[in-house]
Amino acid sequence: MSQVFKALSTEQMKQFETEGYLIVKEVFHPEEVEEIRMTFDEIGQTTIPGFFEPDLSTDRSDPLKRFPRVMHPHRFNPVAMKYMLHPGVMTILEDLYGEEAYAAQSMFYYKPPGSRGQALHQDNFYLKVEPGNCIAAWTAIDRCDEENGCMLLVPKTNTYEIVCPDVSDSKESFTTHYVKPPKDEKPVPAVMDPGDVLFFNGNLIHGSYRNKSKDRFRRAFICHYANSSADKISRWYNPLYRADGTALELEGNPDGGPCGIETPAYH
């Protein structure tokens, strides 16, 4: 008898297992996308120490100084908390994990026109979920394509070991780490519409293009999750949350890994 999943088809499960990622269309309804957009439009006009610290001066030499990413918005905003625990997302994650998922992190990227992308990297280098792995749920708030800096995914690198990254090109990436993909796999663009969600494995090598558009933001609401059988995670991500909003803590994984000492709080 074939296994029955709550939200995904057998074909979708197979793609995630073999390719390391899966785009699920229209997980978020248009009104949910709009609530997220409006919430972060408001946040974008403020300063929230430790979470969102924009340069509100007239200097526009680097668009990301005005619109940096928002870190852990679920820790101060109820809308972010609500959508980090979106029932549709949590059900899909339960299928992908084969067990309950715990929410570990939220982020919001504005990615204004002209801003740099993010060099290829691996998420579980930072979250250090053990045993098991983290999974990202990357929700498009705007149309995402190659012009405005959509995600780049290197297929099948979900089986690639977590490695110590090289230094990225600072002219193209706002982060410093770069993981070179294997020669036989090329990055592919993840073209998405608002409300679509990209799920990908924590070992998968991924990044993004520069936003080359003149007037289009590429906003995205991004969350990371751990499997409920995990007992360790990098301490920067505690507390985690069950689908019902109950908080819990895992043992804090100490600094160290492929590089010896990691840079914490990267995500």
**59, two tokens:** 């200097």
CB atoms within 10 A of CB 257: 17
Instruction: Please state, rounded to an integer, the average pLDDT across all residues of the chain.
Output: 94
**245, two tokens:** 């909003």
pLDDT tens readout for residues 178-192: 999 999 889 999 999
Alpha carbon separation from 110 to 116, 179, 207 (Å, rounded) = 11, 24, 15
Mean pLDDT across 128-132: 97
pLDDT tens readout for residues 73-114: 999 999 999 999 999 999 999 999 999 999 999 999 999 999
Q: Which domains does the chain show, CATH number per domain?
A: 10-48+62-253 (2.60.120.620)
CA dihedral 118, 121, 124, 127 (to 10 degrees): -40
pLDDT of residue 1: 45
Rg of the chain in Å (alpha carbons): 17
Cα dihedral sign, 254-222-79-147:
positive
pLDDT tens readout for residues 9-40: 999 999 999 999 999 999 999 999 999 999 99
